[in-house]
Amino acid sequence: MTMEVLQPGLLSLIQDGGRLGKHRIGLTNGGPLDPEAFFYCNRLLGNPEGTTVIEASFGGLQLRSQLDTFICVTGATMPLAINGKEQPLWEVLPVAAGDTISLDFAKQGCRTYLGVADGFNIEPSFGSTATVTRENIGGLNGEKLAPGNLLPCKQVTERKRCYLPADHRPHYQDMVTLRVIPGYQQHSFNRLQQRRFFSHAYTVSDRCDRMGYRLEGPAISCDIEGILSEGICFGAIQVPADGQPIVLLNDRQTIGGYPKIGSALSLDAGHLAQLRPGGTVHFAPISLHGAHNALHLADSFMRRQPLMERRV
Amino acid sequence: MELHFAGENALMLYFGTETSARVSARVQAATTAIEKTLGEDLIDLVPSYASLLIIYNAMVTDHLSISHRVRSAVASLESGSNQGGQEIVLPVYYNPEVGEDLESLANSTGMSCDEVIDIHSSGEYRVYAIGFAPGFAYLGQVDERIAAPRLTTPRQKVPRGAVAIADRQTAVYPAQSPGGWNLIGRCPTRMFDPDATPTMPVAVGDRVRFKPVSRDEFLSLGGEL
Q: DSSP for B76-91?
A: TSPTT------EEEEE
Of the candidates A134, A135, A265, which has its C-beta nearest B8's C-beta? A265
> Could you report the per-residue pLDDT of B9-46, keeping only the tens digit for each?
999 999 998 899 999 999 999 999 999 999 999 999 99
Residues B46, A24: C-beta atoms closer than 8 Å: yes
- Ordered strands of the A85-87 beta sheet: A85-87, A80-82, A100-103, A61-65, A2-8, A150-152
Question: Alpha-carbon distance B52 to A230, whole Å?
Answer: 7
Distance in Å, alpha carbon of B112 to nearest chain A alpha carbon: 31
Q: Are strands B169-172 and B137-140 parallel, antiparallel or unpaired?
A: antiparallel
Residue A128: what are its φ and ψ, rounded to 5°? -155, 150
Q: Using omega within 30 degrees of 0 as the cis cutoff, is the peptide bond preceding B141 cis?
A: yes
Residues A24, B138: C-beta atoms closer than 8 Å: no
Residue B202: what are its φ and ψ, rounded to 5°? -125, 160
Average pLDDT along chain B: 94
Residues A295, B58: C-beta atoms closer than 8 Å: yes
Q: What is the pLDDT of residue B214?
A: 97
- Which residues 30-49 of chain B have a CB within 8 Å of chain A? 43-49
Question: Alpha-carbon distance A151 to A122, whole Å?
Answer: 8
Question: Alpha-carbon distance A30 to A131, whole Å?
Answer: 6
**In the Cβ-directed half-sphere of A311, how many Cα atoms lie within 13 Å?**
0
Q: What is the pLDDT of residue B76?
A: 83
> Homologous superfamily of A175-301 in CATH?
Cyclophilin-like (2.40.100.10)
Q: What is the pLDDT of residue B83?
A: 59
Question: Alpha-carbon distance A19 to A13, whole Å?
Answer: 14
Contact A251, A57 (CB under 8 A): no
Q: What is the pLDDT of residue B79?
A: 59
Residues B10, A233: C-beta atoms closer than 8 Å: yes
B63 touches chain A (CB under 8 A): yes
- Interchain CB contacts (distance < 8 Å): A and B: 127
Residues A231, B17: C-beta atoms closer than 8 Å: no
Q: What is the pLDDT of residue A187?
A: 75
Instruction: List average pLDDT for each run of 10 residues in chain A, which is 312 residues long.
Output: 97 98 96 98 98 98 98 98 98 98 97 98 97 96 97 96 95 96 81 95 97 96 86 95 95 93 97 98 97 97 95 84
Contact A292, B62 (CB under 8 A): yes
Residue ranges and CATH numbers for the domains of chain B are: 2-75 (3.30.1360.40), 87-220 (2.40.100.10)
- At A103, is the secondary structure helix, strand, or coil? strand
Helix (H) or strand (E) holding A38: helix A35-45
- Which residues 144-183 of chain B have a CB within 8 Å of chain A? 174-175
Domain with CATH 2.40.100.10 in chain A: 175-301
Sequence letter at residue B221: L
- At B43, is the secondary structure helix, strand, or coil? strand
Closest CA to B8 of B40, B37, B43: B43
Residues A233, B130: C-beta atoms closer than 8 Å: no
Contact A95, A121 (CB under 8 A): no
Residues 6+ apart with CB under 8 A from A195: none
Q: Which residues of A touch B (CB under 8 A)?
A: 20-27, 125-126, 134-137, 181, 183-185, 228-236, 253-256, 263, 265-266, 288, 291-292, 295-296, 299
Contact A38, A18 (CB under 8 A): no
- At B184, is the secondary structure helix, strand, or coil? strand
Question: Alpha-carbon distance A35 to A145, whole Å?
Answer: 20
Q: What is the pLDDT of residue B81?
A: 53
Q: What is the pLDDT of residue B80?
A: 54
Residues B62, A292: C-beta atoms closer than 8 Å: yes
Q: Residue-wise over A216-253: b if at least 16 C-beta within 10 A, else e?
A: bbeebebeeeebbbbbbbbbbbbbbeeebbbbbbbbbb
Sequence letter at residue B33: A
Q: What is the pLDDT of residue A36?
A: 97
Q: What is the pLDDT of residue A62?
A: 98
Sequence letter at residue B71: R
Q: What is the pLDDT of residue A279?
A: 98
Q: Any long-range contacts for A257-260 (C-beta under 8 Å, 24+ apart)?
A: A257/A226, A257/A227, A257/A228, A257/A229, A257/A230, A258/A226, A258/A227, A259/A185, A259/A188, A259/A189, A259/A222, A259/A224, A259/A226, A259/A227, A260/A184, A260/A185, A260/A232, A260/A236
Phi-psi region of B222 (alpha: psi -120 to 50; beta: other; left: phi over 0): left
* List of chain A residues whose C-beta atoms are within 8 Å of the C-beta of residue B171: none
> Could you report the per-residue pLDDT of A95-111, keeping only the tens digit for each?
999 999 999 999 999 99
Residues in chain B with pLDDT values less than 70: 78-84
Question: Alpha-carbon distance A239 to A103, whole Å?
Answer: 36
pTM for the full predicted model:
0.94
Complex prediction ipTM: 0.95
Task: Please list the residues that pair with A260 across neighbouring strands.
Answer: A238
Of the candidates A135, A236, A255, which has its C-beta nearest B129's C-beta? A255
Closest CA to B140 of B118, B166, B160, B119: B166
Residues B204, A254: C-beta atoms closer than 8 Å: no
Sequence letter at residue A310: R
Question: Alpha-carbon distance A270 to A32, whole Å?
Answer: 9
Residue A234: what are its φ and ψ, rounded to 5°? -60, 135
